[in-house]
Amino acid sequence: MRLVAVQEQDFDAGALLARLNSAGTGGMASFTGIVRQLPGGGLRALRLEHYPGMTEKALERLADEAEARWELTGCVIIHRVGRLEPGQNIVFAAASSAHRGDALAATAYLIDQLKTRAPFWKAEEMESGATHWVEAREADDEATAAWSETANATNLPRGQGRL
Amino acid sequence: MRLVAVQEQDFDAGALLARLNSAGTGGMASFTGIVRQLPGGGLRALRLEHYPGMTEKALERLADEAEARWELTGCVIIHRVGRLEPGQNIVFAAASSAHRGDALAATAYLIDQLKTRAPFWKAEEMESGATHWVEAREADDEATAAWSETANATNLPRGQGRL
Amino acid sequence: MRILYFAWLRERIGKSSEELEPPPGVDTPRALINWLRARGPGYAEAFSDEKPVRCAIDQEFQPLDAPLGTPKEIGFFPPVTGG
Amino acid sequence: MRILYFAWLRERIGKSSEELEPPPGVDTPRALINWLRARGPGYAEAFSDEKPVRCAIDQEFQPLDAPLGTPKEIGFFPPVTGG
């Protein structure tokens, strides 16, 4: 079971997990990313832009890689675009497997890789009316790179805990 | 936000994730364990027994440990007991955090520790009418132990990928 | 003290719990197992091999050679298989 | 070829895509940037610093010094910030 989508509308994590389960499995791991208010407040919304066509290809490739690396029965990546307010869903990544470690590792892989290898850009729309583009985080590049250090392994990279 | 429960009734993963989100967070990771059919088939149901009182204490302690080890905004552990057929939910573990790595690592920790540190026992009820108790898996002990090797770290242990 | 049995220990012994007062000298879970074993064939069968037997004293996992103390309850069971 | 601009590159250039035929000799994305920079103040501002500029040739990420070839499309954008 494979489901990859870029969409404006919200997703239903429970329904997506139910679809993964219906493919027959032992366990499902998921990660849901949510628009976070800034530490000092003042964020009205994020605006998410992407490269149509390339994005879908990039996400399908991440799903291919996860399926090659772990024994999965299913794999889901949903990324929203458009205007999203604090508390709203941005991204959902999930994987199912007979082995819980595979499901958890594949989910962590999908979200780490997506951060640096899928063409999305976020702008912050502030309550003040100002808008600025979010800068890429070095920690995200490091999280992506940590997986290549274990290129032929199925382990979770060390250092995951704080990225 | 903390929710720990041992119950016969099913849980709703989507509703649980919505409750975690309402506590305010950047991301939520979850693991859902499902009754798996045996490789050769023939499983009619699992019967799950537990040690009332001790189980709840053990699960609360795991939640305490996860909250001490990672920066979490919420933590959920739900474990079902009673008679569960293949495809039905057994267990749900989830954690939310401003940091995706924390949410993912805490979720992996909860499910790994729960396997060996919470007093649940599974019996397999076969279509033939026979019933046998499931034996503990060495891999589960290793997964639990792998976390103590990184006792003061917040990393995911190596080897997670195949356990 | 209240003694609880789970999973196949419960099935072999034929009850899930009972109130018993073991004699002085029964000062570890292992000694308690030895004393229980003499109470009947169900007990003897349940405890014929101690290797797969685990215990909890007042709802905390303990090794079979831990000091028994004067607990309110002690549980005997096989290795756990939840999740 | 079709050239696409995203995020603040799109905003500074004032369009999201255009069809252009760069002259022979423009054989890398970096050379294309140099050629685009001369097309007007919006381009000059967007490409004033190449360091934060990334590109994709026919929807595959490529370094700025990759051979350009004869792609159907090339996209310019800042480092990605999805997830």
Cα–Cα distance measured from residue B160 to residue C14, given in angstroms and rounded to the nearest whole number: 40
Question: What pLDDT does A158 receive?
Answer: 46
Q: What is the 3-state secondary structure (H, E, C) of C3-28?
A: EEECHHHHHHHCCCEEECCCCCCCCC
CB contact under 8 A, A79 and D82: yes
> Mean pLDDT across chain C, nearest whole number?
97
For chain A, positions 98-127, list CB contacts with chain B under 8 A: 98-105, 107-108, 111
Minimum Cα–Cα distance from A114: chain D residue: D83
CB contact under 8 A, C59 and B114: no
Hey, what are D38's tokens? 């001369």
Mean per-residue pLDDT, B110-121: 96
Question: What pLDDT does A23 receive?
Answer: 77
pLDDT at D49 over 70: yes
Q: Backbone phi, then psi, for A18, in 5-degree steps? A: -65, -40
Question: Is ipTM > 0.95 here?
Answer: no
Give pLDDT tens digits for D63-78: 999 999 999 999 999 9
| Candidate from C56, C75, C80 with C-beta closest to B136 | C80
Cα–Cα distance measured from residue D1 to residue C70, given in angstroms and rounded to the nearest whole number: 85
| Candidate from B33, B123, B133 with C-beta closest to C83 | B33
Tell me the Ramachandran region of residue B154: left when phi exceeds 0, alpha when psi lies from -120 to 50, beta otherwise: alpha
Question: What pLDDT does B124 receive?
Answer: 97
DSSP characters over D20-38 = --PPTT--SHHHHHHHHHT
Length of chain D: 83
pLDDT confidence band for A157 (50 / 70 / 90): low
Number of alpha helices (DSSP H) and beta strands (DSSP E) in chain A: 4, 8
Q: What does DSSP assign to residue A73?
A: S
CB contact under 8 A, A34 and B12: no
CB contact under 8 A, B121 and C56: no
pLDDT confidence band for B154 (50 / 70 / 90): low
Nearest alpha carbon to residue B8 among B79, B101, B77: B79
pLDDT confidence band for A144 (50 / 70 / 90): confident
Q: Where are the domains of chain B?
A: 2-154
Helices (H), chain A: 13-22, 54-69, 100-117, 138-149
CB contact under 8 A, C56 and B54: yes
Comparing B160 with D56, which gets the higher pLDDT?
D56
Mean per-residue pLDDT, A22-38: 90
Question: In DSSP terms, which residues pair with B131 in a beta bridge?
Answer: B125
A62 contact partners, CB below 8 Å, separation of at least 6: A77, A109, A110, A113, A114, A117, A118
Which of B10, B34, B85 to mutate: most A Cβ within 10 Å? Answer: B34
The share of chain A scoring above pLDDT 70, in percent, equals 91
Cα–Cα distance measured from residue B11 to residue B20, given in angstroms and rounded to the nearest whole number: 14
Which of A100, A107, A140 to mutate: most B Cβ within 10 Å? Answer: A100
Residues of A in contact with B158 (CB under 8 A): 155-156, 158
Length of chain A: 163
CB contact under 8 A, D7 and A136: no
Length of chain B: 163
Question: What pLDDT does A154 receive?
Answer: 54
| Candidate from B36, B37, B162 with C-beta closest to A101 | B162
Q: Contact, A23 vs A1, CB < 8 A? A: yes
- Torsion C34-C37-C39-C43 (CA) sign: positive
Predicted structure pTM score = 0.91
pLDDT at C9 over 80: yes
Give pLDDT tens digits for A34-57: 999 998 999 999 999 999 999 999
pLDDT confidence band for B161 (50 / 70 / 90): very low
Contact present, B and A (at least 3 Cβ pairs less than 8 Å): yes
Which of A6, A131, A133, A144 to mutate: most D Cβ within 10 Å? Answer: A133
The fold for domain C2-77 equals: Ubiquitin-like (UB roll) (3.10.20)
pLDDT confidence band for C74 (50 / 70 / 90): very high
The fold for domain A2-154 equals: Aldehyde Oxidoreductase; domain 3 (3.90.1170)
What is each CA distance from D46 to A124, A132, B51, B74, in whole angstroms? 19, 15, 66, 43
